[in-house]
Amino acid sequence: MLTLQRRIVSVAALCLCAWGMDSTLNAAEGIPAERRLPQGTTVFFSVPNALEAYNEFQKTSMGRLLQDESLQTVREEIEDWWAKVSEDAEDDLGLPPSELLKLFHGEIAFAVVQPPAKDLVVQPPAKDLGVVLLMDFGDNRETLDALLERAQEALEEEDGERSVETIQETEVTIYSFVDEDADDDDEPSTLVYCIKDQYLVASSSVDIVDELLTRWDGEADGSFADDTTYSRLMQKCQAGESADPQVRWYVAPIDLFRSIASMPEANQGQVPLSMVMGFLPVLGIDKIHAVGGTATLMTDEYDTVSRTYLALDQPISGVLKIFEFPAVDQQPPRWVPDTASAYSSVNWDIEGAYKAVETLVDFFQPPGTLANLVDQLAQAGPMIHIKDDVIDSLTGRIQFLGDVREDTATSDAAVQPMAFALELSNEDTMKDVLDRIATSLDDNVETREFRDVTIYEAEMPNFQGGDPQMMGIAVARGQFFFATDVQLLESYLRDDGAGEPLANSADYRRVASHFPGQTSMMSYSKASGQVRPYYEMLRSGWLGDQIEDIDFSQLPEFDKIAHYFSLNGSYAVPDDGGALFIGFTLHNE
């Protein structure tokens, strides 16, 4: 029998996905896959026009970097290395990869589908759950035929029984695989494909192919494009955009899990998935309706921008109550210096999260179980009450900071200093908590005074093999600080007016101008600062003998290409139906 792994490889052989297309070809246009797929689609990923996406990528900062003349020597070595790899691939596929890449002409779409029942009264059988791949191959039919011929040989070697049917006036090839260990009532697994117009359609289900061909003209009712949730997600993610997205995606996790849980194979273990399905409403996880998004290149405002919308059925409950992030005004405080290469802030309803955890524990255990456990823990060790001493001392605002040390050795570049700060409503209580913890740890923690602030220091292992780092913890400026490098912590505690606050810097203001007034989460980063240490590691031979044929020491100095790395930002805002997450890279000035 053809194993799942081999079947996946066979489908991949039909539709190999990679970048590297001839930009002189004409992009194809047609009916989008959403109008051909049926409702019941639980996973969807689409590149509406592969050639357009490739050409737009070439215009982005990263695309232009890869074409920079200073990379010519290394680029030639990579091309030589790829040529050698291609020789091996050609032996397996029967065609050079350069020819296969020409198949990516227009739309490429993948979906997981459970077709609607023919009889609407009857629940569709779980065996109908399957996958489908659509690929617009343009005018490269000869290349496709050669690839299909090689794939057919592989399928027949795996004892696939070939048959041909005519569905919706289209010839459909079906390979059936019988599992010798399966019950007599089990139907054989299948691999199905057909050619329609200039599309290759490959699927694990004849029913799915039938559904697609029935809707091929894009005019039939009941298509995935008519799904109200999918439509709402795409509207949220494309609102106000100046260009069509190069990628669209969608997942309905609960619908997908429900379909899988209804399969006989999923209910043969000690914990049947159908039983797990019954706990989802108790945990509130069934409120996750869907998540989806878009990715767009070269818009009027952005070099790249991704938008993701999480659709939640209201009101949320259970586990989801732990992850509520109300929108508030957020910007870096004055103690964050303009030298920071990254900064992010999250506003978490920590009080609500604690109550949600307490409710869940008390649902499965007698009422008061969590409160009693917390009280008992407070009588041991440093005698800290998690609720009274810790939770009640936090506002819920969490800030993350990153920096780049110019004096960092190349071997330590991957361990760049970072810190987080928890905003406090009660500094004195948290200072007392820290003191009690330090006392209980005895010799493992050292304390010292810095600018009238007590710093708690401890060794932190260097996972790159270098000398241990000294991490630091302190309570000051209304924050609980933790830093992987104590020198970074000291920079936040200074108040000598030597540097400008990040909030006043031109770079931060440029990114923040794209944020709404209130956010649940926001972040800023300077890509050049984040990338530099890893780039220098690459130049220094950090990869060693991983790729012997490429000498990365010939890469140019980072300053010569730093201008390609722009500013990044992201934010999240909740609404009545869920939350919208947006991440972007700005155009270089």
Q: What pLDDT digit, counting tens, does each position of 104-138 carry?
A: 889 999 999 987 665 444 444 445 689 999 999 99
Least confident of 77-81, 197-201, 476-480, 581-585: 77-81
Sequence letter at residue 516: P
| Beta carbons within 10 angstroms of residue 169's beta carbon | 8
What integer pLDDT is reported at residue 167 of this predicted model?
95
Q: What is the pLDDT of residues 40-52, one digit of tens each?
A: 999 999 999 999 9
- Evaluate whether 570 touches 584 at the Cβ level (below 8 Å): yes
158-194 pLDDT, tens digit per residue, is 888 999 999 999 999 999 987 766 565 667 789 999 9
Extract the tokens encoding 558. 């980072």
Q: How far apart are CA 263 and CA 280, in angstroms?
A: 18
What CA–CA distance (Å, rounded) separates 368 from 115?
A: 47
Mean predicted confidence (pLDDT) in 437-461: 89
Amino acid at 74: V
CA distances from 90 to 77, 200, 547 (A): 20, 21, 21
pTM for the full predicted model: 0.88
pLDDT digits (tens, 9 = 90+) for 234-281: 999 987 676 789 999 999 999 999 888 877 766 676 767 777 888 888
**pLDDT at position 125:** 46
Rounded Cα–Cα distance for residues 285 and 547 (Å):
45
For residues 574 and 314, what is the distance between their CA atoms, to the nearest angstrom? 12
Q: Is the peptide bond before 574 cis (omega within 30 degrees of 0)?
A: no
Q: How confident is the model at residue 407 (pLDDT cuts 50, 70, 90)?
A: low
**Residue 417 pLDDT more than 60?**
yes
On the question of pLDDT at 331 being above 90, the answer is yes
Q: What is the band of 24 on the pLDDT scale with cuts at 50, 70, 90?
A: very low
Residue 29 pLDDT > 60, yes or no? no
Residue 99 has pLDDT above 60, yes or no: yes
Query: Which of 94-103, 308-317, 375-384, 511-520 shows the lowest mean pLDDT across its residues?
Result: 94-103
pLDDT of 485 over the 80 cut: yes
Indicate the SS3 state at residue 472: strand
**Cβ pair 374, 387 in contact under 8 A:** yes
pLDDT score recorded for residue 36: 96
d(CA 217, CA 213): 8
| pLDDT confidence of residue 405 | 61
Rounded distance, CA 145 to CA 527, Å? 44
Asked if residue 484 has pLDDT above 50, the reply is: yes
Q: How far is CA 577 from CA 288, 374, 472, in A?
A: 10, 35, 41
Q: What's the chain's average pLDDT?
A: 86
Q: Which two tokens stand for residue 438?
A: 């330090």
The per-residue pLDDT for range 381-397, each reduced to its tens digit, is 899 999 999 999 999 99
Predicted pLDDT of residue 186: 65
- Does position 350 have pLDDT exceeding 90, yes or no? yes
Structure tokens at 268: 């043969």
Average pLDDT score over residue span 278-303: 93
Instruction: State residue 396's pLDDT score.
Output: 97
pLDDT over 50 (residue 220): yes
* CB distance 310 to 579 below 8 Å: yes
Per-residue pLDDT band for 534 (boundaries 50, 70, 90) equals confident
Domain boundaries, the chain: 4-226, 239-313, 314-351+391-586
pLDDT at residue 45 in the model: 98
Strand partners, 135: 108, 200
Q: What is the 3-state secondary structure (H, E, C) of 527-568?
A: HHHHHHHHHHHHHCCCCCCCCCCCCHHHCCCHHHCHHHCCEE
Point out which residues pair with 193 in neighbouring strands.
Answer: 173, 202
Span of 200-204, 206-210, 278-282, 514-518 with lowest mean pLDDT: 278-282
Averaged over 69-78, what is the pLDDT?
Answer: 91
Residue 360 pLDDT level (bands cut at 50, 70, 90): very high
Q: Identify the pLDDT of residue 455.
A: 96
Q: Which pair of tokens denotes residue 312?
A: 């939640």
pLDDT at residue 3 in the model? 39
pLDDT grade for 551, boundaries at 50, 70 and 90: confident
User: Average of pLDDT values for 325-343?
Assistant: 94
Q: What confidence score (pLDDT) does residue 124 get?
A: 45
Percent of the chain with pLDDT over 70: 85
What was the pLDDT predicted at 4?
35
Residue-level pLDDT at 5: 38
Rounded distance, CA 133 to CA 45, Å?
Answer: 10
More confident residue, 510 or 149: 510
Longest dimension (CA), the chain: 83
Residue 542 has pLDDT above 50, yes or no: yes
Average pLDDT for 25-53 = 85
Q: Is the model's pLDDT at 379 over the cut of 90?
A: yes
Distances, alpha carbon 318 to alpha carbons 273, 285, 289, 356, in Å? 20, 7, 15, 6
State pLDDT tens for residues 561-577.
999 999 999 999 999 99
Q: How does residue 403 score in pLDDT terms, banded at 50, 70 and 90? A: confident
pLDDT tens for 491-524 read 999 876 567 899 999 999 999 999 999 999 999 9
Separation of alpha carbons 154 and 149, rounded Å = 9
